[in-house]
Structure 1
Amino acid sequence: MRDNLFTGLFPSSLGKLSKLQLLDLGENRLSGQIASSIGNITQLSKLSISRNNLDGIIPGSIGNCKFLQYLDMSRNKLNGSIPKEVLSLPSLSLYLNLSHNSLTGSLPEDVGKLTNINKLDVSENMLSGEIPETIGSCSSLEYLYMQGNAFRGSIPLSMASLKGLQVLDLSQNNLTGEIPKELQSLPFLLYLNFSFNDLVGEIPAEGVFSNASRISLMGNNKLCGGVPELHQPKCPTKAMENDCNFICFDASNAIKLAIIIPCVILCVLLMLVSVLAYRRRVSKKKSSAVPIDMDHPAQVSYKELYDATGGFSDHNLIGSGSFGSVYKGLLNQMEGPVAIKVLKLGTKGASESFMAECKVLGIVRHRNLAKLLTCCSSIDYKQNEFKALVYEFKGKRSLEKWLHHASINYKSRKLNFLQRLNIAIDVASALHYIHDLCEIPIIHCDLKPSNVLLDVDMVAYLSDFGLAKLFLKTNDASQNETSLVGILGTVGYVPPEYGLGGIPSKEGDVYSYGILVLEMFSGKRPTDKIFENHLTLHNFVKDALPRKLVQITDPTILSSVMEETSTTNAEMNEQVEIHAETESSNGNLSRTGIAKDKDCLISLFKVGVACSVESPKNRMRMGDVVKELHLIRSNLLGVRIFG
């Protein structure tokens, strides 16, 4: 029921829907307090009531929702403290957003019980006190937003235990003390904001701190040092102070050292124990993700798949490709619907495609990769060979449908600017993982919109590894495992070097990704009729930047401006060129948001162009692409929040 015009009080009768699993009332005009009966819906896995006019306290009865994975109460008028019952839900793994309310008190130490949480946002409230050390126990945390509160004290050293942290924002608080140098060892930290606090001392110079564009430290006048690009004063020398300390060393100092040194040793030991425990948890997670046994791939029977799809009826057909057709089905052993990919074994290379996809998806696990649940290798009712793969079902179909499908279901709700940017980040993260972070690097070889699936939250998943190539860690090229069959990809997305006999490479995937980004934001397929002779989608965009931005941007991103102002395309382009003062609204380019969002659009197009250049060695790396896109999104959301 999201994004309507519902008014009135929050209905307490919702508590009678005891078997409800998903409740989304976000972006309405509901008022009053959140009914405590919400705790009666014990099967809830997702609850969103963001962007309403709700007030009062957060009911502790939510702690009864033991299966809750996603909770969003942001942008209301909620007050009081954060209930410990909410922070004690071990099921919260995807998202906890309490931002932009009027919550008071301290952040309870129980926050450390959220060991599975991926994203935590308590920003823009009136929270105070010290940030609890227990925050370091949130071992799965990747995004942490705590800006715009009144937190005091020092930055907890335990934050260095958040090894998967990508974004950390502690700006606009009252934090004091030094920046922990241990934070520079966080391997995946892409963006850090400590601005407008009262921090002192030397700025670390390694890790994320080595790139001035990835950190923000303004408003801390007592900081010094760091990389030259920060233009901070040099830190004063401590030589004189150390000499004085040496001369003045006496018995009282010896007593202090006798106390301090054992404490330091104890802290080091505790940190080592924490690191070992973290590695053990990671090890257990890896061992629990058991790959499909390739020697015995038949995990589900043909009869079960036949019954699940109504005899593979056209009514359940949701897509088809070069190697098979995909059906929606319901299996008894699965909780929700599944997507069943049935291979066309008469097609050359189909069996190899089946083996490749089983092998690839059996060894990888990433939040933006389509999850292979099981597979089937059997005989059908006509005694023909039958092979199928069973995936998690993604309710919003493919990116191809959203970009180009003529159906009214898609035409009425086009992807907005921010949604496209999020999808681009999701796909880039998946490619970065299979290229650089996998134990065995993987080349996808067929990246295109139809192989990007979207779930109900518009999160993107990279799928269809039927052409994928595994690169084992060996110098012998003959030892590399390959499943390549026929054409290496799809026309329009295949890098030029493949047509000249080049071998599959990470750079080839990067080229396809670049074309995908250009297509997402221009709305034009690389095989569009206008791209004839020597004109390509790459050159079409490259030659237009930056002054002809409107001509190359998908009109649906600009539609809200056109409707509100009745301006022509030429007039709109003129407004862009004269840098009208602007800001974003509802994910699309707003009437007053052209100039600032223009910079984000240009940056995105430049990423697409840089990825799709003709020379493979000159293309961006996916790790750099991920960092650049996160920075673009940070700039966009920064305008949205503070502009």
Structure 2
Amino acid sequence: MNQFDGRIPATLGQLKRIQLIELEEISYQGSLPLDLGFTLPNLEVLMVGGNQFTGPIPPSISNASNLRELGIETNRFSGKVPTLENLQKLKMVNIYGNQLGHGEEDDLKFLNSLKNATSLEILHIGDNRFGVMLPDVIGNLSTQLRFLIVENNQMFGKIPTGIGNLVNLEVLDLCGNQFTGHIPNNIGNLHKLHLLMVEENRFSGDIPSSLGNLTLLNLLRLDRNNLQGTIPLSLGRCTSLEYLDLSCNNLSGVIPPEVTGLSSLSIYFDLSLNQLTGSLPSNVGNLINLASLDISENKLSGEIPNSLGSCVCLQQLVMDGNFFQGNIPSTLSSLRGIDYLDLSSNNLSGQIPNFLVNFPFLMYLNLSNNDFEGEVPIVGVFNNASAISLLGNDKLCGGITELHLSNCPIKRSKQTQSVSKKVIIPIVVGILLLAMMLCLIIIRWWRRTKRNSSSASPLLASFLQVSYENLLKATARFSSENLIGSGSFGYVYKGILDHNEMVVAVKVLNLQHRGASRSFLAECEALRSIRHRNLVKIISACASVDFQGNDFKALIYEFMVNGSLEEWLHPNVTTDVLQEAPRNLNFLQRLDIAINVACAVDYLHNHGQTPMVHCDLKPSNVLLDDELTAHVGDFGLARFLPEGTHSLSSNQTSSIGVRGTVGYAAPEYSMGSEVSTQGDVYSYGILLLEMFTGKRPTDEMFNGDMNLHDFVKTAILERVIEIVDPVLLQEIEEGQTSLRSHSVRECLISIFGIGVTCSSRSPSERTNMDDVTAQLHSIKNRLLQTPRLGQRLL
């Protein structure tokens, strides 16, 4: 941490011609010298944002009459903002994210002195403590003002009508305050506005129709107010709108076709939690580039329009809590990018469309509280009980067992019954003969294997088994060229099964290793009982003897072309040389992988037939497919729990000997505590911290009392950028992400917070995996929905 004692070095003080000071985001502490303006009277640029400066803004700053840019954002400055009346050349004042003001009447008195700054373009005073009314003088500021941001200050009262004088404004952000009254009609005079954000206030009355004059507007947020009346038709003239949020108000009337016809809407369109009536206009199909549509919790009715199927870029479609009726249109089959679909609490009927099983990204489907009927599919998203909700549809049947639906009746015609009587006897005889032949074959095979397989056979019966000879051929006699990994209980080879040319991963158990056979049985038992898109899929198994008469056990899995998460987080020199490009995961890819793993563990703990603890979560056991979707594998240490519990009872197997991997195993396991879901939560927390710091928990820097958990915990709030994986930091700094830096920082803090909580030493302090999954989804949604404010404010 850099220390700043408040003094400018003597040699610096003698340089009266200094015009620029830039000390941004280098973790300085201390305070600015009170005589700064006298010492450096020719200063033109003062940029010290993103540090930990405390104390007041030096009143002497007004003496630096040439100052053009004042940027002290994201520090801990406190007290009142001094008068800036002599700073007539100011173009930017950014004091965002400090502790300025005391909620007193003269907190914003400094705005009076800014009347003299006729070239002022940027005024950002958000996230401070100015809990007062916005003064009328705001309308007398420079007509050159382009950015006016006062968010999150607990300001109250009405918006001065003079705000309509700022005709060059491009960004107006008043969100997160307690403003009341009507939204000024003359905001419609601000023809150059690109972003208008007044959400999370107490505005009432109608939405001004004058907003239709803002034809350059890209983002409009009026959500979470007390607005009434109808949606003005004039918004249809805002033909540059990409993001529109009118949710959480008291709006009534119909959805104007003029608004749903805005083909520019591409990021977000939210009308939820209002009192809107009528149907969804058929021209909603014009929104061909829209990513998220939410019209939930209104009073909308009629059928879902067929034209909605034209919105092929939709990722989230939320229509619950209305009165929609009829079938789900077949045209929605074109929405293959959907990952979140909620049609619950309507009056929809008919059968569940089979095309939903082919949506490759669908992770949440809610069709509950409708009137659907018929058989529920069992593949795709319907194979994951935790990803779907079908409650309140009494006419549904079938589906996977976890849904607890009744069996579908078998419809048989009279003609079919007549035919069945004629063929049933030959069929029964044929089955008996076949059964006898199979018994003879099994007896001969059992004698030839020369081993006792009584404990394994019930488990292996769940899989289509392959022979030792098949695997020998598939892996080129287990050649070193096909060796792709190794673990404590054996080796993993890449292979191609000759009967269907399927590329597979073959895990061959080293039966000389103590516990290998038990690991084999545990993995068979685990994998025959679980099915989830983020768990490695087992294809087959082999329990036989090799050509020397030795026992041979192997498991055959779906092959993951992108290897393990370990290889991506910590590539070795050899791997880098063989790759055409460095194998680096960007911010969103890591977040998606973290969500994938969390969903898998949540399923194991809370949504499978029997609760299960993985016991060995770590990057090498997280495998990535061709789309970098994560799949948790290696269930050799997994343990089932009694239903309704979160740990093994005292009369069951202890965790002694089931300690997982050093650095990832929960600390209580080393003291003989029982296996529990909270042990997996600890391992997940360490894995999450490793993903975003780039540091293994066994790194050399972690010795003595220092560990990865404490390393992150001590830096999470004040020095979060210092602990981020340098690869990610470089990505953010080089502008390879479209996310605002302060938003990335906030999300990093949230992610690290989850990791720290999950890896708490005390099991009782750890978060449950269902909460972890929800929090990570929230972080991702916040990232994807964060609008860009322009390069100057990044």
TM interval, short-chain normalised = 0.5 to 0.7
Shift of 1:416: 0.3
Shift of 1:423: 0.4
In 2, Cα distance between equivalents of 1:387 and 1:279: 30
Shift of 1:412: 1.1
Match of 1:325 in 2: 491
Letter in 1 for 2:314: V
Which deviations, in whole Å up to 9, do the C-alpha atoms of 1:184-210 show, x marking residues without a partner?
xxxxxxxxxxxxxxxxxxxxxxxxxxx
**1:505-516 correspondence to structure 2 within 5 Å:** 505-516=676-687
> Which of 536, 546, 555 is the matching residue for 2:726?
555
Shift of 1:439: 1.5
Distance change >3 Å, CA 168–CA 285, structure 1 → 2? closer
In 1, Cα distance between equivalents of 2:533 and 2:406: 14
Shift of 1:333: 3.3
Match of 1:395 in 2: 561
Asked if structure 2 preserves the Cα contact closer than 8 Å seen for 1:101 and 1:124, the reply is no
In 1, Cα distance between equivalents of 2:586 and 2:648: 44
Shift of 1:485: 7.7
Match of 2:604 in 1: 434
Secondary structure at the aligned position of 1:440 is classed as: coil
> Which of 725, 729, 753 is the matching residue for 1:606?
753
Which deviations, in whole Å up to 9, do the C-alpha atoms of 1:151-195 show, x marking residues without a partner?
xx99843399989986589xxxxxxxxxx9949xxxxxxxxxxxx
Secondary structure at the aligned position of 2:328 is classed as: helix
Match of 2:397 in 1: 276
Secondary structure at the aligned position of 1:519 is classed as: helix
Asked if residue 100 in structure 1 is aligned to residue 295 in structure 2, the reply is no
Asked if structure 1 preserves the Cα contact closer than 8 Å seen for 2:540 and 2:557, the reply is yes
| TM-score normalized with structure 2 length | 0.46
Letter in 2 for 1:419: Q
> Which of 309, 325, 347 is the matching residue for 1:157?
347
Asked if structure 1 preserves the Cα contact closer than 8 Å seen for 2:325 and 2:347, the reply is no
Shift of 1:133: 4.0
Letter in 1 for 2:722: Q
**1:436-455 correspondence to structure 2 within 5 Å:** 436-455=606-625
Match of 2:517 in 1: 351
Unaligned residue ranges in structure 1 (runs of 5+): 1-75, 78-97, 113-118, 148-152, 170-179, 184-269, 565-584
Letter in 2 for 1:158: L
Match of 2:786 in 1: 639
Which deviations, in whole Å up to 9, do the C-alpha atoms of 1:21-44 show, x marking residues without a partner?
xxxxxxxxxxxxxxxxxxxxxxxx
In 2, Cα distance between equivalents of 1:468 and 1:124: 35
Match of 1:122 in 2: 314
Shift of 1:478: 7.2
Asked if structure 2 preserves the Cα contact closer than 8 Å seen for 1:604 and 1:629, the reply is yes
| TM-score normalized with structure 1 length | 0.56
Match of 1:196 in 2: none
In 1, Cα distance between equivalents of 2:661 and 2:526: 20
Distance change >3 Å, CA 516–CA 281, structure 1 → 2? closer
Shift of 1:534: 0.3
Indicate the percent of aligned positions where both proteins have the same amino acid.
Answer: 43
Asked if structure 1 preserves the Cα contact closer than 8 Å seen for 2:539 and 2:556, the reply is yes
Asked if structure 1 preserves the Cα contact closer than 8 Å seen for 2:506 and 2:555, the reply is yes
Letter in 2 for 1:416: N
Distance change >3 Å, CA 122–CA 431, structure 1 → 2? same
In 1, Cα distance between equivalents of 2:305 and 2:312: 14
Asked if structure 2 preserves the Cα contact closer than 8 Å seen for 1:131 and 1:156, the reply is yes
Asked if residue 367 in structure 1 is aligned to residue 538 in structure 2, the reply is no
In 2, Cα distance between equivalents of 1:547 and 1:382: 63
Asked if residue 471 in structure 1 is aligned to residue 641 in structure 2, the reply is yes
Shift of 1:546: 1.2
In 2, Cα distance between equivalents of 1:101 and 1:505: 43
Shift of 1:280: 8.4
Secondary structure at the aligned position of 1:368 is classed as: coil
Secondary structure at the aligned position of 1:633 is classed as: helix
Shift of 1:146: 8.5
Letter in 1 for 2:749: I
**1:83-482 correspondence to structure 2 within 5 Å:** 100=289, 121-122=313-314, 133-135=326-328, 156-158=346-348, 182=369, 271-273=393-395, 275-276=396-397, 293-294=458-459, 296=461, 299-406=465-572, 407-408=575-576, 412-473=582-643
Shift of 1:639: 1.6
Shift of 1:559: 1.3
In 1, Cα distance between equivalents of 2:699 and 2:407: 44
Shift of 1:314: 0.6
- In the alignment of these two chains, the number of paired residues is 411
Unaligned residue ranges in structure 2 (runs of 5+): 1-262, 265-286, 292-302, 318-322, 371-391, 409-455
Secondary structure at the aligned position of 2:541 is classed as: strand
Distance change >3 Å, CA 499–CA 428, structure 1 → 2? same
Which deviations, in whole Å up to 9, do the C-alpha atoms of 1:132-158 show, x marking residues without a partner?
7433999999956699xxxxx998433
Distance change >3 Å, CA 533–CA 606, structure 1 → 2? same
In 2, Cα distance between equivalents of 1:384 and 1:489: 28
Which deviations, in whole Å up to 9, do the C-alpha atoms of 1:60-81 show, x marking residues without a partner?
xxxxxxxxxxxxxxxx99xxxx
**1:37-56 correspondence to structure 2 within 5 Å:** none
Shift of 1:294: 1.6
Match of 2:765 in 1: 618
In 1, Cα distance between equivalents of 2:363 and 2:643: 28
Shift of 1:431: 0.5
Match of 2:715 in 1: 544
Shift of 1:560: 2.9
In 1, Cα distance between equivalents of 2:567 and 2:407: 34
In 1, Cα distance between equivalents of 2:742 and 2:465: 55
In 2, Cα distance between equivalents of 1:636 and 1:427: 19
Which deviations, in whole Å up to 9, do the C-alpha atoms of 1:368-388 show, x marking residues without a partner?
000111100011122211000
Secondary structure at the aligned position of 1:630 is classed as: helix
In 2, Cα distance between equivalents of 1:141 and 1:285: 30
Shift of 1:557: 0.7
**1:31-70 correspondence to structure 2 within 5 Å:** none
Distance change >3 Å, CA 145–CA 326, structure 1 → 2? closer
In 1, Cα distance between equivalents of 2:760 and 2:548: 50
Letter in 1 for 2:615: C
In 1, Cα distance between equivalents of 2:405 and 2:504: 27
Which deviations, in whole Å up to 9, do the C-alpha atoms of 1:544-573 show, x marking residues without a partner?
0111111110011121344x4xxxxxxxxx
In 1, Cα distance between equivalents of 2:344 and 2:555: 51
In 2, Cα distance between equivalents of 1:334 and 1:480: 46
Letter in 2 for 1:501: G
Secondary structure at the aligned position of 2:327 is classed as: helix
Asked if structure 2 preserves the Cα contact closer than 8 Å seen for 1:344 and 1:350, the reply is yes
Letter in 1 for 2:669: Y
Shift of 1:332: 2.3
Distance change >3 Å, CA 534–CA 286, structure 1 → 2? farther
Shift of 1:329: 0.3
In 2, Cα distance between equivalents of 1:285 and 1:493: 42
Shift of 1:295: 5.7
In 2, Cα distance between equivalents of 1:159 and 1:607: 41
Asked if structure 1 preserves the Cα contact closer than 8 Å seen for 2:522 and 2:638, the reply is yes
Match of 2:420 in 1: none
Instruction: Give the helix-richer structure, 1 or 2.
Output: 1
Which deviations, in whole Å up to 9, do the C-alpha atoms of 1:500-519 show, x marking residues without a partner?
11111100000000000000
CA RMSD of aligned residues (A): 4.7
Asked if structure 1 preserves the Cα contact closer than 8 Å seen for 2:398 and 2:405, the reply is no
Asked if structure 2 preserves the Cα contact closer than 8 Å seen for 1:467 and 1:483, the reply is no
Letter in 2 for 1:553: V
Letter in 2 for 1:459: T
Match of 2:742 in 1: 595
Is the radius of gyration larger for structure 1 or structure 2? 2
